[in-house]
């Protein structure tokens, strides 16, 4: 009890399960934690932001999240952020949907001293027929679904999925 399939055999490193469902088959692999190579983290920003990981900066409106990100972007593009890339200017891919690039984000990055030639605004190319749209409210779940369909019946209800639950 409490052990993955195959754990009774000392030579087995893990187990796998295959689901040949409608998505073409997914494969679940179980790996013993004892076989995972442990190593110390590398820090993009010393002891605050791990390298190679997605980092979320949550908080209520008006506490300075966007200004902090403008400052971080400036430090990275100038090579002045204490951490892995100190002394090495690095490009930044900046994804933002709430503020205007012309009126808010661009001027903030400029004021923070970012090297604007090393900042890349990321946008979604909506030219392809099948991208996902997402929407909802903080308290009542958020949903995602296809932007269009090629069928005459439109987008069915079961094509939508929950991306986050409400609080």
DSSP alpha helix (H) spans, the chain:
65-78, 106-112
pLDDT of 141 above 80: no
Question: Between these two residues, 147 and 25, which has the higher pLDDT value?
Answer: 147
Q: 63 pLDDT band (50/70/90 cuts)?
A: very high
pLDDT of 108 above 50: yes
pLDDT of 78 above 80: yes
pTM over 0.75: no
3-state DSSP helix/strand/coil % of the chain, to nearest 5: 20, 20, 55
Q: Which residues contact 91 (CB under 8 A, 6 or more apart)?
A: 77, 118, 119, 120
Q: Do 143 and 160 form a contact (C-beta atoms < 8 A)?
A: yes
- The SS3 of residue 77 is helix
């Amino acid at each position: 009890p409490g052990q993955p399939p195959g754990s009774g055999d000392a030579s087995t490193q893990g187990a796998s399960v295959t689901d040949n469902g409608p998505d073409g088959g997914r494969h679940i692999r179980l790996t013993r934690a004892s076989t995972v190579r442990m190593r110390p983290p590398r820090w993009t920003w010393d002891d605050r932001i791990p390298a190679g990981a997605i980092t979320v900066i949550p908080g209520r409106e008006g506490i300075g999240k966007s200004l902090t990100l403008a400052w971080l972007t400036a430090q990275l593009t100038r090579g002045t952020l204490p951490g892995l890339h100190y002394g090495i200017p690095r490009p930044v891919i900046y994804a933002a949907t709430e503020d205007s690039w012309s009126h808010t984000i661009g001027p903030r990055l400029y004021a923070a001293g970012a090297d604007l030639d090393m900042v890349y605004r990321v946008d979604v190319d909506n030219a392809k027929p099948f991208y996902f749209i997402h929407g909802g409210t903080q308290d009542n779940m958020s949903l995602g679904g296809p932007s269009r369909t090629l069928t005459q019946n439109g987008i069915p209800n079961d094509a939508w999925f929950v991306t986050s639950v409400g609080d």
